[in-house]
Chains A and B, each alone.
Chain A
């Protein structure tokens, strides 16, 4: 009996003695343990930059590349602005803008925690991290407002009980939030970065973006103040052709100066306020350019070396002035923007272009007779249809360029009735870089023309047209449907908010007009 009791006790001890805790620690950090060191905030910041690449960037370019009147696309739905509320590309834009905003908000939520010790040894100061996050949130919000009109403005990390109750915000609220983020960011960010940090947001980028926002807000004075901050910072200049001889051989100098804005070999140059960064490494054995999270410009994806689904319209090619400087037939920027007769396209058969020989419903795309049949801007000379094709396009997406700033300054000047002031000089400096003669006075037509040829095929045109069409009293007389016949006024100014989100918010969120 004694022994039985002994064994019983042994069992009982064994039974109670090996209790394993139910409190286990995961093998990766948790949100509760993260966001405590400067290095962790730096990682979180990297994640906040990330959606700019393929996640947001690719669908954004996809929609707006096909939308404007400079390009004709095989996809009638996108070409004709027949945007569906259930469209996956549009949902991607909306979603990844939200992801970007969330990743900034989580930094703001945690960085003021007193336990976070930034020291002089930290790679970046607290202010520099906050400044970058503010810039990024403003950038995402800017696109939210120009693409989706008045979606909810999310300024903190949403809690589950807030998920279903998000309501439309107002453009005014967006502008005020963007302005506040960018003003603060501009005060916190450096004017430039060392070589290992090139690509991060700068104060110049913050001023430039804020000025651009004021252009949309039609606050011309504030826009000019911001642009002046950029111009007077001494950080930016137009790339000038060097060694001009005033002979016909200057043509290549003009073209190559302009093209530096679109070539992987001249990333982050003096004309760039902000570029979406892609790795130099192109990789091999890939599928399509831009398939992975590097190198995304749609001209590479769609055009010449890509699926050949788009082409510049003949009406676009004819926008370029003729003659160009010193014996050139056209404005040198034409040669940097579209392919013309005589250009060599590596490894491709022009007869196949466009659209693999399929009939194009719109016959207005450029033909070889029109001396142009492909998008040259951002062209990356690697042929995707090869074994060992590149996995990525190393070029950056030049999101905010100095010539854009100069032209917007000119536009603001014109709105302020200063048709022959500093703005005119700036516009003429942009023309001069390409060897084009100055104009005498600013007019709406001159500004529209200059933006079309200088900034063509960069996904800026559509928003420009909409912006001009929304000027008070239609002061410039721009009607988008004059350029894009399928444009529906009161609808196509903005994309639809994704149906998924409308459904989710169950009545709290209103769809944009016309959808």
Chain B
């Protein structure tokens, strides 16, 4: 090796010496001068001007000028500048060479990464969407998946919550699986990464950090979304839900380029429920109690309120904060012919709109590429990051939910209580025993921290011309800690028999820490052979990869602290619970691909992959996933002479991919030792015995891969000098052998919480994707330029068959149903026909002309007797909504004028129904003994004098069950949202030259500016979304997505 390098260097020196000797002897030296400008006519500083084949190079000066001595006419000058097309000019007899450098993107054929290699964009036959760094970073996203929203046709991205760092739901071309994950595979710089929960597990299993938020979005150069089988099949078993390739920024040749960008902003909670104030609340309770013939709790009386100081707490306001958001990003990139590198450092912090929530990220990235010799290259990508998150600490559920129900009569603070927060008590809040939401959020703390190291080292050797061998070794390591601390706190008075619902208002101090450690090794080898034989262009790739993942976790709870105020495990004396485990996972693959084109006219892509996964039993460890696709460029064929058509390509593809996303060891039954439901006591005195049973996992040795068969047909058109681009695609995706957790009969006696997995059930997704964009370049400097991009996707999801004779799956407490012939996770409930009026009842108070409905009185909701049985029963429930839209769309307008640029991005979904569960709760006045606060809508309740309303009558016990899931509270969840508006100003070049800065851009932006929707809940987007497809479309008042005002600066030195 060493000898080899020496010999190469020696050869190079010899040849240079020879060259110099010959040149010097034959010609005299000539000086060539010139001025280089950019596309706008501004001088370009720092362009590297070199003589081809020599080490001689000079940079351009402050006016874009250069001067270089050449040996003669046969010399060629090479002009290189980051972001611009490298140009070679033969000197000839010229002594002055001036020109404007051309932007790289304009002429250079764009190469798209397609997994284990690249392909010219125009030669693509599969369905691939490229999202550039610029589009990704426009709205200051916390994570890159957030930035994908509305950017790529066929991709439905929804924020599950407005909490910073919260999970996103990313679905590519519909939903394929019921029980297995529907998330796409994420691949960073060629390495598939884990998208599992990274933070340590704790008992509550509540909040976690979105694992993708550990990646700084500014580090991403581009992102490719692979949608169809022919592009995904190279990722075989994990491609069924689509693949998202992430390419981080890499160094380029040229002098060091330093960039700095920063923004600060502020998040506002956009929407709140309009709730009753203290006076309205007391008046309502007064009416309700007197209607029920009951004495109202003293606390609602004026005299008691006077004693209590006429409290009127607005809990939603008390819980909301403006969330400051800040981001700093420093990047350095440089390179020579032999070594290139790109570094970045990032700090991001966002406070949530809920008090006491935030997320911050520190990250560093170092990418380098070395050219060791003409045939050997090596390099690395390294990302180090840490994410800290202060989460919602609420013990009982949604903190906003507490805020909706809590009594406005309860003050926030009470210095007499341990912890300093007030709580419900009969003398102040009467029967309303809802906890103090501010105390629940602020007194305890729940933090999650994740450290992540992503490292990839590669070497690439060109064995013979056209034959390249590449080896990658990567590590994705992360460890997470969840720390949940509940101090000694008293937020409620237990008084005989009054409060019976929630027991958590008083607690001794408790600390839970959960640790999670995950390391994934990957070793990847590919060999690629590129050969052109006449008009036949062939690229063959074959490879093998190995992955091994080991996850371990540990969790411990400590109680009874020695010294109050020291929330550390070392201070605890009693440790009631500890748990932990180790989970291994291995994955092996061999794969191959052929790219063929004839004269760049007829295109063929074919691939095959064989995957082995430890997740399946001995007989089914391996799966094979083939694909092919064809393309025909009409513009290279008979349309060649049509000037207006720059490209017209027809594509067709077919392929199969798989899914093994079901967790580990599901093929075998695991014995669980000591769950609560297997313990028993024996002896006198009695001792607890820990039983063992097949509890946590019921094995199915016959499990096989879930398979998705996808067909894709598409057309790409570029018109008018590549100014108008259009892509249209039709896809059908059939998921079969669907991995489902089967329902089991009670008689089996197996633990229903973890029934065995089975390969049963089919789901079909189909739809159209459209993408159109128009770019109008400015015709002269400072002129007007603009571009418009729009995308549109339709989707239809239908369950074809299900386990156990098509028995429907009920989830989310029977609110969602997955049923043959319908969309996965459809909403299930009664059909509401209106509200009963006095005239619907006869003299004996029996309903006339309608099916019997238990306890119904005038002012109750009227439900439809679908079975015609004459009684409203559970059998009258039906599908009343679907949680997937008919279509979603997005549009971006960019325009530039002089030094200003403006972009507007809007996005929307149409044809989705959301069950407004929280609104239902808040619009039904009576619900037993709790006297929860309600929406002001309740004031419009039905009464004999107010009959034209859809708010049910006041009934303290809600005897008629108006709150059952029904169409009454189903709403249209469609919305159109102006997601981001940004106005930027770039300082003129002249001003910049004076301070030797290449570029300064200042901008202001507003995210989530305006929403058009008929939805009555807080936010149709977060409300209709859920990380589980089986409980989507059910809005229990999730944190609405905030509005963000931002200003930022981008500097390139």
Chain A residues with CB under 8 Å of chain B are 3-5, 7-8, 11-12, 14-16, 18-24, 26-32, 34, 40, 43-53, 55, 86, 91, 94-95, 98-103, 105-106, 151-152, 154, 158, 160, 163-164, 166, 195-200, 267-268, 277-280, 285-288, 292-294, 307-308, 347-349, 352, 356, 385-387, 394, 498, 500-501, 503-506
The answer to whether the Cβ of B843 comes within 8 Å of any Cβ in the partner chain is: no
**Chain A hits for B691, CB < 8 A:** 43-50
Contact B700 A101, beta carbon cutoff 8 Å: no
A28–B588 contact, CB under 8 A?
no
Contact residue among B677, B694, B746, B756 (Cβ-Cβ distance under 8 Å from A501) = B746
Bound together, the chains give a CA A349 to CA B748 distance in angstroms of 47
- Given A24-B586, A34-B692, A106-B694, A504:B699 Cβ within 8 A: no
Given contacts A28-B673, A46-B679, A277-B681, whether A100 and B746 have CB atoms under 8 Å apart is no
**What per-residue 1/0 map shows which CB atoms of B360-374 lie under 8 Å from chain A?**
000000000000000
Partner of A28, one of B584, B672, B681, B688: B672
State whether A196 touches B748 (Cβ < 8 A).
no
Q: Which of B676, B679, B682, B874 contacts A199 (CB 8 A)?
A: B682
A385 close to B670 (CB less than 8 A): no
By the criterion CB–CB under 8 Å, are B749 and A98 in contact? yes
| Stretch of B184-192, B318-326, B489-497 at the chain-chain interface | B489-497
Q: Mark B723-758, 1 if CB is under 8 A from A, else 0.
A: 000000000000000000011111111111000101
B678 shortest CB reach to chain A, Å: 4
**Are A29 and B670 in contact, with the CB atoms below 8 A?**
yes
Q: Are A46's CB and B929's CB within 8 A?
A: no
State in angstroms the CA–CA spacing of A278 and B679 once bound together.
Answer: 10
- A51 proximity list for chain B (CB < 8 A): 677
Complex-state Cα separation, A4 to B744, whole angstroms: 59
CB-based contact B668/A46 at 8 Å: no
- With beta carbons under 8 angstroms apart, the residue of A31, A95, A292 that contacts B746 is A95
Closest to B510 in A: A285
Contacts A22-B621, A158-B748 known; A199 to B683 CB distance under 8 Å? yes
Q: Are the C-beta atoms of A24 and B683 separated by less than 8 Å?
A: no
Q: Is B523 an interface residue (CB 8 A)?
A: yes
CB 8 Å contact bits of B666-699 with A (1 = contact, 0 = none): 0011111100111111111111111111101001
B848 at the interface (CB under 8 A from A): no
Q: Is the CB of B694 within 8 A of A280?
A: no
- Cβ-defined contact, A200 with B682, below 8 A: yes
User: In this assembly, does B375 line the interface, its C-beta being within 8 Å of a C-beta of chain A?
Assistant: yes
Q: With A and B bound together, what is the CA distance between A8 and B467 in angstroms?
A: 11
- The answer to whether B503 and A307 touch across the interface, beta carbons within 8 angstroms, is no
In chain B, what residue has the closest Cβ to A95? B746
Whole-angstrom CA separation of A435 from B232 in the bound complex: 85
Report if B427 contacts A (CB, 8 A).
no
Instruction: Take A14-B523, A55-B677, A164-B805 as given contacts and tell me if A30 and B669 are in contact as well, using a CB distance cutoff of 8 Å.
Output: yes
Chain A residues contacting B668 (CB-CB under 8 Å) are 26, 30-32
**0 or 1 for each of B859-890: is its CB under 8 Å from A? (1 = yes):** 00000000000000010000000000000000
- Interface residue? B205 (CB, 8 A): no
Q: Decide if B747 touches A154 in the complex (CB within 8 Å).
A: yes
Assembly CA distance A2 to B112 (angstroms): 34
Closest to B498 in A: A356
CB neighbours of B696 from chain A (8 A): 28
User: CA separation between A16 and B324, bound complex, in Å?
Assistant: 52
- Report the Cα distance A3→B506, complex, angstroms: 73
Contacting residues of chain B (492-533) with chain A, CB-CB under 8 angstroms? 494-500, 503, 506-508, 523, 525
> Chain B CB within 10 Å — which of A7, A51, A268, A307 has the most?
A7
A285 to B557 alpha-carbon distance, docked (Å): 15
Given A154-B749, A504-B745; A24-B682 close (CB under 8 Å): no
B376 touches A98 (CB 8 A): no
Which residues of chain A have C-beta atoms less than 8 A from B613's C-beta?
A: 22
Residue-wise interface mask of B (595-634) relative to A, using a CB-CB cutoff of 8 A (1 in contact, 0 not): 0000000000000000011100010010000000000000
Q: A21-B586, A277-B680, A279-B681 are in contact. List 4 more A-B contacts (CB 8 A).
A: A48-B691, A98-B748, A196-B682, A292-B676
Cβ contact of A280, chosen from B461, B498, B582, B686, cutoff 8 A: B686
Nearest A residue to B743 by beta-carbon distance?
A504
- Shortest beta-carbon contacts, A-B, top 7: A102-B749, A47-B691, A46-B691, A31-B669, A43-B692, A47-B678, A15-B525
B992 within 8 A of A: no
Query: Across the interface, do A385 and B684 meet the contact criterion of CB distance under 8 Å?
Result: no
Report the separation of the CA atoms of residues A7 and B467 in the bound assembly, to the nearest whole angstrom. Answer: 14
User: Given A44-B692, A47-B691, A387-B494 in contact, is the A8-B461 Cβ separation under 8 Å?
Assistant: yes
How far does the alpha carbon of A52 sit from the alpha carbon of B680 in the complex, in Å? 9
Contact of A387 among B498, B506, B756, B805 (CB under 8 A): B506
Q: Is the CB of A50 within 8 A of B749?
A: no
Tell whether B548 is near chain A: CB-to-CB under 8 Å: yes
Instruction: Answer yes or no: B784 CB below 8 A from chain A CBs.
Output: no
B581 interface residue, CB < 8 Å from A?
A: yes
Least Cβ distance of A380 to chain B in Å? 15
* A293 B745 Cβ-Cβ under 8 A: no
> Contact between B463 and A4 (Cβ–Cβ < 8 Å)?
yes
Chain B residues with CB below 8 A from A158, complex form: 745, 747-749
* Chain A min CB distance to B485 (Å): 17
- 11 residue pairs A–B, Cβ–Cβ below 8 Å: A14-B471, A22-B612, A24-B586, A43-B673, A46-B689, A164-B805, A200-B682, A277-B681, A286-B503, A387-B490, A505-B745
Please judge, given known A-B contacts A86-B874, A292-B676, whether A268 and B684 are in contact too, CB under 8 Å. yes
**Which residue in chain A gives the minimum CB-CB distance to B616?**
A22
Are the CB atoms of B665 and A26 closer together than 8 Å? yes
Interchain CA distance A34-B684 in the complex, whole Å: 29
**With A26-B665, A30-B669, A43-B690 as given contacts, are A356 and B929 in contact (CB-CB < 8 Å)?**
yes
Docked-complex contact A22 and B614, CB < 8 angstroms? yes
B670 to chain A, nearest CB (A): 5
Decide if B583 is an interface residue (CB 8 Å cutoff).
yes
Contact B694 A31 (CB under 8 A): yes
Given the complex, which residues of B lie within 8 Å of A31, measured CB to CB?
A: 668-671, 694, 699
Residue B4 at the chain A interface, CB threshold 8 Å: yes
Partner of A163, one of B463, B508, B686, B744: B744
Task: Using CB atoms, name the residue of chain B closest to A199.
Answer: B682
B residues near A11, Cβ cutoff 8 Å: 459, 461, 469, 471, 525
**Residues in chain A near residue B75, CB distance under 8 A:** none
A19 to B671, CA, bound (A): 29
Q: Is the CB of B586 within 8 A of A164?
A: no
Query: B395 on the interface (CB 8 Å rule)?
Result: no
Q: Is B588 touching A163 in the complex (CB atoms < 8 A)?
A: no
Q: What residue of chain B has the Cβ atom nearest to residue A286's Cβ?
A: B503
Given contacts A26-B670, A98-B748, contact A294 B681 (CB under 8 A): yes
Bound complex: CA A20 to CA B688 (Å)? 42
Given the known A-B contacts A22-B613, A24-B584, A199-B686, are A278 and B681 also in contact in the complex, defined by CB atoms under 8 Å?
Answer: yes
Interchain CB contact under 8 A, A102 and B748: yes
Centre residue among B503, B507, B686 by max chain A CB count within 10 A? B686
A19 to B469, CA, bound (A): 19
Q: Assuming the A-B contacts A18-B546, A30-B669, are A498 and B682 also in contact, with contact meaning beta carbons closer than 8 angstroms in the complex?
A: no
Residues of A within 8 A of B746 (CB): 91, 94-95, 98, 498, 500-501, 504
Q: Taking A47-B692, A199-B682, A505-B745 as contacts, is the C-beta distance between A160 and B756 under 8 angstroms?
A: yes
- Smallest Cβ distance from A304 to chain B, in angstroms? 11
| Cα–Cα distance between A251 and B375 once the two chains are bound (Å) | 105
CA of A12 to CA of B525, assembled, Å: 8
B588 and A20 form a contact (CB under 8 A): yes
> Is A95 in contact with B752, judged by CB distance below 8 angstroms?
yes
Closest residue of B by beta carbon distance from A6: B1
* Cβ of A68 to closest chain B Cβ, rounded Å: 25
The interface residues of chain A lying within 8 Å CB-to-CB of B554 are none
A198 to B689, alpha carbons, bound, how many Å? Answer: 13
A105 to B750, CA, bound (A): 12
Q: Which residue of A29, A280, A348, A505 contacts B671 across the interface (Cβ within 8 Å)?
A: A29
Question: Does residue B301 face the partner (Cβ distance < 8 Å to A)?
Answer: no
Q: How far in angstroms is the closest Cβ of chain B from A359?
A: 8
A163 to B680, CA, bound (A): 28
